[in-house]
Amino acid sequence: MIQKLPIHTVLELAKTNPIFDVRSPSEYMHAHIPGAISLPIFNDVERAEIGTNYKQKSVQDAIKIGLKHFGVEILNYIEIVEQQVKITSDKKVIVHCWRGGMRSAAMAWLLDFYGFDVILLEGGYKAYRQLVLQSFTLPIKFNVLGGYTGSAKTEVLLELKERGEAVIDLEGLASHKGSSFGALGLPTQPTQEQFENNLHKELLEYIQINAEGVLHQEHSIWLENESQRIGLVNIPKALFENIIASSLYVLQIPFEERLKFIVEHYGKFTTQELIDAVLRIQKKLGGLETKNVIQFIEEGSIYNAFELLLKYYDRQYLVAANRSTRIGKIINAETIEVTKNAKSILEKFKN
């Protein structure tokens, strides 16, 4: 049996049933529904060939070429799907392509013929993307954790999550810490579109959006106070505007404590990696400061190098803070004790 269902229903079913993305490998690699399994009905070359014939000749010519490629892989498709379905308790599978057209219809026919219970995503991946973008415009409630560089804000947020708070790690989703050193030791950043898809999935852990687009949310979501741009990706504009209008909680930790944390966190990287990161900010850092920092790094004086860098980032933080009209609730902390600081933040939040 084949059913065509809307995106809200499909995302709910996808929690317990495999979802197969039959678009080409490059489409999938660019961005996909988190958790979807790539099952390309055509590779990139085949897709281009079919598209050309569709435009230059006829629909029938394109279909004939498609069937030629599709037929060769039929057994392979069945075996891949069978392997995934063994993980679940029934034979229900979800299939989608870009717009819910011929590719997903062909795969649905095959899987239905073999005996699977097939669900087609109505409107395809395009419908999913519309939902993702719509969700960023909703009045979601946030709490924002701020503080100078080296305040261990990410670690505090993760501790808040351990304590049962709703938390989204934007830097984790972006695979970047935000500064010029932010990519060190982390995987390649996702595309902008995939970052948005992953962010939407995280939001759905804490909010509900019905088919009419109405938001239901029980608890505010904690986020780190970020610039709109995190490495190569951007927080969607409407969502960012919501975030910067939300309640702000600012960790105040002494410079020396933050410096020790930064040295411990970044001092493990190679000399060249550190120098490359410094060169990315040399225009803002200034010629003399850049020269001094690099010299310290080459000499192995990592503490002195990061002392200069942290003073630079503190100046940047003050400039941004002075431009803002936000007034945050201050949480003073003597050291970077993640558990203690998370507890202090919750006490300030509840009061």
- CB-hemisphere CA count at 13 Å for 39? 32
Shared domain for 98 and 143, answered yes or no, is no
Specify the number of domains making up the chain. Answer: 2
Shared domain for 157 and 26, answered yes or no, is no
Domain boundaries, position 44? 2-132
CB atoms within 10 A of CB 351: 6
The residues facing 19 across adjacent strands are: 94
Write down the pLDDT at residue 349. Answer: 85
Range with the poorest average pLDDT among 25-39, 97-111, 184-198: 97-111
CA distance 237 to 256: 35
Q: What is the secondary structure of 290-306 as a DSSP string?
A: HHHHHHHHHHT-HHHHH
Q: Are strands 233-234 and 229-230 parallel, antiparallel or unpaired?
A: antiparallel
Question: Where do we find the tokens 């804000």?
Answer: 153
Question: Where do we find the tokens 């040295």?
Answer: 263
Shared domain for 156 and 100, answered yes or no, is no
State the DSSP code for 284: H
Amino acid at 207: I
Write down the pLDDT at residue 62. Answer: 64
Specify the DSSP element, H or E, that contains 145. strand 142-147
Q: What is the secondary structure of 197-259 as a DSSP string?
A: HHHHHHHTTTEEE-TT--EEESSPEEEE---SEETTEE--HHHHHHHHTSEEEEEE--HHHHH
Q: Is 90 exceeded by the pLDDT of residue 256? A: yes
- CB-hemisphere CA count at 13 Å for 307? 7
The distance in angstroms from the start CA to the end CA of the chain is: 56
Shared domain for 61 and 108, answered yes or no, is yes
pLDDT digits (tens, 9 = 90+) for 33-86: 999 999 999 887 877 776 766 666 666 766 677 666 676 688 888 998 998 887
Write down the pLDDT at residue 58. Answer: 66
State the DSSP code for 269: S
Write down the pLDDT at residue 212. Answer: 87
Over the chain, what is the mean pLDDT? 92
CA distance 267 to 265: 6
Shared domain for 205 and 264, answered yes or no, is yes
Shared domain for 153 and 297, answered yes or no, is yes
Among 43, 6, 13, residue whose Cα is nearest residue 27 = 43
What is the pLDDT averaged over residues 296-314? 96
What is the pLDDT averaged over residues 139-154? 96
Shared domain for 196 and 70, answered yes or no, is no
Contact criterion met (CB below 8 Å) for 2 and 108: yes
Model confidence, pTM: 0.92
Helices and strands (H and E) in the chain: how many: 16, 14
CA distance 106 to 178: 44
Among 59, 25, 62, residue whose Cα is nearest residue 40 = 25
Considering 74, 102, 132, which residue would you say is the last residue of a domain?
Answer: 132
Considering 88, 107, 132, which residue would you say is the last residue of a domain?
Answer: 132
Among 237, 258, 104, 233, residue whose Cα is nearest residue 170 = 233
Shared domain for 49 and 173, answered yes or no, is no
Q: Which residues are catalytic?
A: 97
Shared domain for 203 and 165, answered yes or no, is yes
CA distance 157 to 165: 9
Amino acid at 279: L
Percent of the chain's residues with pLDDT above 90:
78
Specify the DSSP element, H or E, that contains 93. strand 92-96
Q: Are strands 221-224 and 166-167 parallel, antiparallel or unpaired?
A: parallel
Range with the largest mean pLDDT of 78-82, 89-93, 198-202: 198-202
Shared domain for 162 and 127, answered yes or no, is no
Amino acid at 246: S
Identify the CATH number of the domain in which residue 199 sits: 3.40.50
Considering 132, 152, 180, which residue would you say is the last residue of a domain?
Answer: 132
